[in-house]
Chain A
Amino acid sequence: MQKFKTKLLNFCLPALLPVSLLLIWQIASQFNLISTKFFPAPSTIIKTVYTLVQGKELFKNVTISLYRATLGLGIGASLGILLGLLTGLSHRANQLLDSTIQMIRNIPHLALLPLVIAWFGVGETSKIFLVAVGVFFPLYANTVHGIQSVDPELIEMGHVYQLSRWQLFTDIIFPSALPAILVGLRYALGIMWTTLIVAETIASDSGIGYMAMNAREFMQMDVILVSILIYALLGKISDLIAKFFENEANHWQINE
């Protein structure tokens, strides 16, 4: 009985505050204590979600946002990991490339937006490009760090056992660096979403961000709030997926 009560409490207490706020918000809207023009009631928002899902709009916009995010992530992450592996493993490559990459890293990539629009217009390329740039740097930096943190004693052991260079990489260096790379990935996911939101809000004719901006034109607060909720939901799901891969890769670590 005691254990059940504790479990119930553990589940309910964190939910107490948000649920109470939602209730207060709903009641306040129903009794017109707050302006429904600026704060649609939770019930209205649920209705809006239903309407949007019914029409093709929501599906089309979410799909295109996901497409841009995934493609940008794929390109930026692959390049980041590949270059990170290169500069981490090769001293020459490090000397040639690292300082340049670090210099560019210091430029806030969102500031590149006007430049990107000037180069690529307001089509898909500009958004995917910007996401790729944003995602590249955390993955690059974490990959290099992961490679450089490999235990040199393990590498020496590999040499004693006459592991080939490929075996050294697949058996020792890469598995050792993997946890760091996955941390970089989780961090990059947050950047992916924020970059997408900015790019879609400012320079787009489709996507969730466009949907929100368009709704603003017509003062459709409920649609704007739904867009925010969708971004939050997508962000949470991508984080869960990344966490899943992280746990899979780290299954050999003790979790006590």
Chain B
Amino acid sequence: MQTVLELKAVTKKFNGQTILNPIDLTIQQNDFIAVIGKSGAGKSTLLRMIAGLSAPSSGSIWQNQQRVTTTNAMTRIMFQNPRLLPWKTVAQNLSIGQAKITSEQLATTLAQVDLTANQHQYPLTLSGGQQQRVALARILLHHPELLLLDEPFGALDAFTRQSMQQLIENLWKAQQLTALLVTHDIEEAVALASKIVIVGQQQLLQEIPINLPRPRDRHSPAFKAIVQQIISQLETSQVQPAG
């Protein structure tokens, strides 16, 4: 199993406050890591450091044995805000960047996210779910190796959220991506992840592998048990860190 990402004793301080104490984490190829924890725990901070958008206060992050210092072409991020350019059509938004995108690539990707009919529309005429699908299509066109997701479905309604989760899982499987998802939705984490990482009290509290078969059945007793286990772990972590 090839190691895609390695965090070595990564910390983050801001204005004298410690946000994260030394964290070690290894992510293998085709992993789907879900990072969960209470709001303000530092999950997004961690994601932004992995993305190269901010620098660790100490420690280092390695992607494919190369040190992460800034954003790179192999990593793509999906935020809660789809961050589309409102003055460009869907197709034009997908074409931004240095790489030349052929019309075939464009057509294929549009079909993957089911937006072929909307390619000449402007973002403001699209629903929230559609806008996120455009953002996803934009990411896929650049064939990233590492896909980072920062609570991307938080602003969507429950139905759209589930279909988006399904879409992500399908693409992750089909394209053998490596994914890291930050979320506060525990069900979402258990439904998608191969490993759940709990962040709290300025540190990495636990790593929980999820071995449920895919496609994951949210109503199965095993699924619900794991969700409960994590919830109680989050609650007890209020008192003291585990391990």
A-side residues, CB < 8 A to B, are: 153-154, 156-164, 167, 171-172, 175-176, 252-254
Taking a contact as CB atoms closer than 8 A, the residue among B71, B79, B88, B122 that contacts A162 in the complex is: B71
Q: Verify B97–A161 contact, CB threshold 8 A.
A: yes
Complex-state Cα separation, A157 to B97, whole angstroms: 10
Across the interface, which residues of A come within 8 angstroms of B73, CB to CB?
162
Q: Is B222 an interface residue (CB 8 A)?
A: no
Q: Which of A160, A176, A252 has the most CB of B within 10 A?
A: A160
B-side residues, CB < 8 A to A, are: 51, 53, 71, 73, 76-77, 79, 81, 83, 85-88, 96-98, 122-125, 138, 142
Q: Verify B87–A252 contact, CB threshold 8 A.
A: yes
Complex-state Cα separation, A157 to B125, whole angstroms: 21
Contact A160 B122, CB 8 Å, known A172-B85, A252-B86: no
Interface of A, helix, strand, loop or mixed by DSSP: helix
Q: Verify B124–A253 contact, CB threshold 8 A.
A: yes
8 further interface pairs, Cβ-Cβ under 8 Å (given A160-B77, A162-B71, A172-B85): A154-B85, A160-B51, A162-B98, A163-B97, A164-B98, A171-B85, A171-B96, A175-B87
Distance to closest chain B CB from A247 (angstroms):
14
Contact A161 B96, CB 8 Å, known A252-B87, A253-B86, A253-B124: yes
> Which 9 pairs, one residue from A and one from B, show the smallest C-beta to C-beta distance?
A161-B97, A157-B83, A252-B122, A175-B87, A252-B87, A254-B124, A160-B71, A153-B83, A162-B98
Q: Verify A254–B125 contact, CB threshold 8 A.
A: yes
Taking a contact as CB atoms closer than 8 A, the residue among B76, B85, B86, B87 that contacts A160 in the complex is: B76
Across the interface, which residues of A come within 8 angstroms of B76, CB to CB?
160
Distance to closest chain B CB from A246 (angstroms):
14
Complex-state Cα separation, A153 to B83, whole angstroms: 7
Complex-state Cα separation, A62 to B7, whole angstroms: 73
Across the interface, which residues of B come within 8 angstroms of A160, CB to CB?
51, 53, 71, 76-77
Distance to closest chain A CB from B72 (angstroms):
9
Closest B residue to A159 by CB, please name it.
Answer: B71
Closest B residue to A164 by CB, please name it.
Answer: B98
Complex-state Cα separation, A50 to B79, whole angstroms: 65
Q: Which of B83, B123, B138 has the most CB of A within 10 A?
A: B83
Chosen A-B contacts, 30 in total, with CB atoms closer than 8 Å, are: A153-B79, A153-B83, A154-B83, A157-B83, A158-B96, A159-B71, A160-B53, A160-B71, A160-B76, A161-B96, A161-B97, A161-B98, A161-B142, A162-B73, A162-B97, A163-B96, A164-B98, A171-B85, A171-B88, A175-B85, A176-B87, A252-B86, A252-B87, A252-B88, A252-B123, A252-B124, A253-B86, A253-B124, A254-B124, A254-B125
Across the interface, which residues of A come within 8 angstroms of B142, CB to CB?
161
Complex-state Cα separation, A172 to B98, whole angstroms: 14
